[in-house]
Amino acid sequence: MIRNYLSLIKFSHTVFALPFALIGVFLGINDWQKGGKYIPAHSWSLINSLQQNETVYVIKTILLVVLCMVFARSAAMAFNRYADRKIDEKNPRTVIREIPAGIIQAKSALAFTILMSVLFVFTSYLINPLCFVLSPVALSVVLGYSFTKRFTALCHLVLGLGLSLAPIGAYLSVTAQFSIIPLLFSALVLCWVSGFDIIYALQDDAFDKKEGLHSIPVALGRKNALLLSRFLHMIVVAILLTILNLGEFGIWYNAGVLVFTGLLIYQHTLVNPNDLRRVNLAFFTSNGIASVVFAIFVITDILT
């Protein structure tokens, strides 16, 4: 039963946004300690200087942010599978998914979505009033994405927007205020996710066109869709360099930028308009590694 629901929500794909949420948390801790202005700490005193009650607050906040990420993404994926159940029945690539295959009933997936949504809002309430007030807005984005491919080829950008809420949302969890650096990380996630989702959508361009569904590959063709994906990832690199300039990061951040950029380039070597056999390698493996490794480097830079 649990395995079926983990498969339904593709729990392993949480690796895309969760590392950026943790970046947002540690940026918030840093700003909290530095009086609201981003000045990178250069010793482990950032954590060691916290009073015991502050340490409890930080640990609690990190746990709550992780729970928010899990609940929001679980709600979004379950609802996507529920909303697309009729479409998935027709698509040879997706007919094996849990709902069309009869492994999970549609009403059960909807009930699961409602439960995850309630838990997300409640967990946001436990963090701070601002996160609680903004939680329905976040839910409307991540749930609303499921309908976008029915009327716009910009659906990939809406998915990117949903995941981009992770770093700024996590930052707000600690500071309850907005700041330019976490907003730039959110912009980075938006362009990064939109870019690799365009690559993923190449697999269904013929089916989507037949069914009257919208996507960048349908609208522009495979070649131009890949060019747009590359352009979005070029913007990602530009944002990475902007963050470097504004945030005054050090060697660890620079190393993270090199790894992240290298993996972006690598995924674009895996796919061409006439060969989609390695789309899953480009989509999941390279991007999953990129997000985790990059987060480790950035958080290390913040803490050292």
Query: Which sequence spans correspond to the domains of the chain?
Result: 2-303
What is the pLDDT at residue 42?
Answer: 39
Question: Is 2-303 a domain of CATH 1.10.30.50?
Answer: no
Closest CA to 120 of 68, 58, 172, 177: 68
For 141-150, b where at least 16 C-beta lie within 10 A, e where not — what string?
bbbebbebbe
pLDDT digit string (tens) for 53-85?
677 777 888 999 999 999 999 999 999 999 999
> Cα dihedral sign for 171, 159, 292, 5?
positive
When pLDDT is cut at 50, 70 and 90, the band that residue 5 belongs to is low
Closest CA to 222 of 209, 205, 238: 205
What is the pLDDT at residue 55?
Answer: 73
CA–CA separation, 163 and 37 (whole Å): 25
pTM over 0.85: yes
